[in-house]
């Protein structure tokens, strides 16, 4: 299987976009000829607050197209972010399935999202159903604009059976809700290394890079396969998204998600996370959050988190049928909430592809002696 490193190297390429006036969003429409950004108020970011089964929750919702949504949410008392995937087959209501919970996609939100930012309906899971009622609430939140771009290219423009490469990108850009120094720290975190802080260039970069590499494979294709209708593996696809996972002063965290199919049995996917402390005006590393000697303590906590999430008995070695090694070490792919820390391990990093991407939450209470007091809830 061919792996496209130019666009998905370590799955950590970030995109961003041109700040507009607060509250305005922009989009780049599908085209094989042009990718000119233009205002499109149909895309946006909303932070919603309310209750599910009388429990306070916060949801981060991004609309990146007419029928394309992405999101994360958390129960405020637990502070454990849960990813939401939009169920596009539900055309009557706005429907999401949870990802990364023990029940998998069995937990769902179904409801109506109004123009004024209210999302109301029912949450279902574990044979139970509860009402939810969420409304837009931005106190203590950074305001973001959302930008999207998509483009495609025929590998053989003159051939009616030519394979097609398609790429899309979604990005967010801060436009308010914090002081200028804090917003500058967020912009820096959203700007890739060695890319100018030019929002239009940044948002185009992943798509342009992918299609450039796709066109470079022109001479590798056996045109006889195309004549036989066997060129499907050359229909490449790439998707890059920046999502907001946490947004409550002083912390704002992002997921940078990449997927690419470049031939073979399946595509490659993975996410990288980053977190910014608005009060300290900086992107955080592990040494900012934890005290010296944290690695062994975090390793034990991560193993406990994995056993709990995947129902692995205490005495069973983790490398027996789950992981490559017996232990889990903290990596740099993490973010923090007001209740704990989340570590992410992309496919093949610590386990086989079949286990998927692994995200593990460690409550600060489990590693309290090694957490910088600034990040412990008062």
Segment 205-218, tens digit of pLDDT: 899 999 999 999 98
Q: What is the pLDDT of residues 49-84, one digit of tens each?
A: 999 999 999 999 999 888 899 999 999 999 999 999
The Cα–Cα gap between 74 and 96 comes to 14
In whole angstroms, give the CA distance from residue 7 to residue 321.
32
Report pTM: 0.86
Q: Residue 283 in contact with residue 275, Cβ under 8 Å?
A: yes
What pLDDT is stored for residue 82 in this prediction?
95
Residues near 316 by beta carbon (within 8 Å), at least 6 away in sequence: none
Q: What is the pLDDT of residues 149-165, one digit of tens each?
A: 999 999 999 888 889 99
Q: Enter the tokens of residue 323.
A: 């992981």
DSSP H or E stretch at residue 200: helix 199-215
The yes-or-no verdict on residue 248 having pLDDT over 70 is yes
Closest to 68 in 3D by CA, of 148, 175, 164: 148
User: What's the longest Cα–Cα distance across the chain?
Assistant: 68
| 253 within 8 A of 245, measured Cβ to Cβ | yes
Question: What's the confidence (pLDDT) of residue 194?
Answer: 80
Which tokens belong to 244? 């907001």
Query: What is the rounded average pLDDT of the residues 105-130?
Result: 90
Question: Which of 14-28, 195-209, 257-271 has the largest mean confidence?
Answer: 257-271
pLDDT band at 229 (very low <50, low <70, confident <90, very high): low
pLDDT band at 101 (very low <50, low <70, confident <90, very high): low
Q: Quick check: bond before 250 cis, omega within 30? A: yes
CB atoms within 10 A of CB 152: 18
């Amino acid at each position: 299987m061919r792996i496209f490193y130019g666009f998905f190297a370590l799955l950590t390429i970030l995109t961003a976009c041109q700040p507009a006036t607060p509250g305005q969003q922009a989009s780049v429409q599908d085209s094989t000829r042009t990718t000119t950004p233009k205002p499109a108020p149909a895309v946006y970011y909303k932070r919603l607050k309310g209750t599910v089964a009388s429990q306070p929750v916060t949801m981060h919702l991004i609309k990146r197209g007419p029928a394309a949504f992405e999101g994360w949410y958390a129960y405020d008392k637990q502070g454990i972010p849960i990813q939401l995937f939009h169920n596009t087959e539900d055309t009557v209501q706005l429907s999401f399935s949870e990802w990364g919970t023990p029940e998998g996609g069995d937990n769902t939100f179904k409801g109506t999202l109004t123009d004024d930012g209210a999302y109301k309906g029912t949450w279902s899971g574990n044979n139970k159903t509860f009402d939810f009622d969420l409304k837009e609430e931005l106190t203590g939140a950074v305001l973001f604009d959302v930008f999207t771009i998509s483009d495609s290219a025929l590998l053989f423009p003159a051939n009616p059976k030519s394979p097609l490469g398609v790429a899309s990108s979604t990005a967010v850009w801060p436009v308010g809700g914090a002081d200028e120094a804090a917003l500058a720290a967020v912009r820096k975190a959203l700007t890739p290394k060695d890319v100018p802080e030019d929002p239009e260039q940044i948002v185009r970069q992943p798509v342009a890079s992918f299609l450039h590499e796709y066109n470079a494979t022109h001479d590798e294709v056996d045109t006889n396969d195309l004549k036989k209708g066997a060129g499907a593996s050359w229909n490449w696809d790439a998707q890059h998204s920046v999502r907001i996972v946490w947004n409550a002063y002083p912390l704002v965290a992002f997921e940078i998600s990449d997927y690419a199919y470049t031939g073979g049995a399946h595509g490659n996917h993975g996410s990288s996370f980053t977190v910014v402390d608005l009060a300290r005006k900086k992107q955080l590393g592990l040494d900012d959050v934890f005290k010296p000697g944290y690695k062994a303590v975090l390793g034990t906590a991560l193993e406990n988190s994995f056993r709990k999430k995947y129902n692995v008995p205490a005495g069973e070695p983790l490398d027996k049928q789950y992981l490559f090694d017996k232990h889990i070490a903290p990596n740099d792919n993490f973010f923090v909430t007001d209740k704990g820390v989340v570590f992410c391990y992309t496919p093949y990093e610590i386990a086989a592809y079949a286990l998927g991407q692994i995200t593990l939450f460690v409550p600060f209470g489990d590693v309290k002696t090694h957490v910088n007091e600034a990040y412990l809830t008062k």
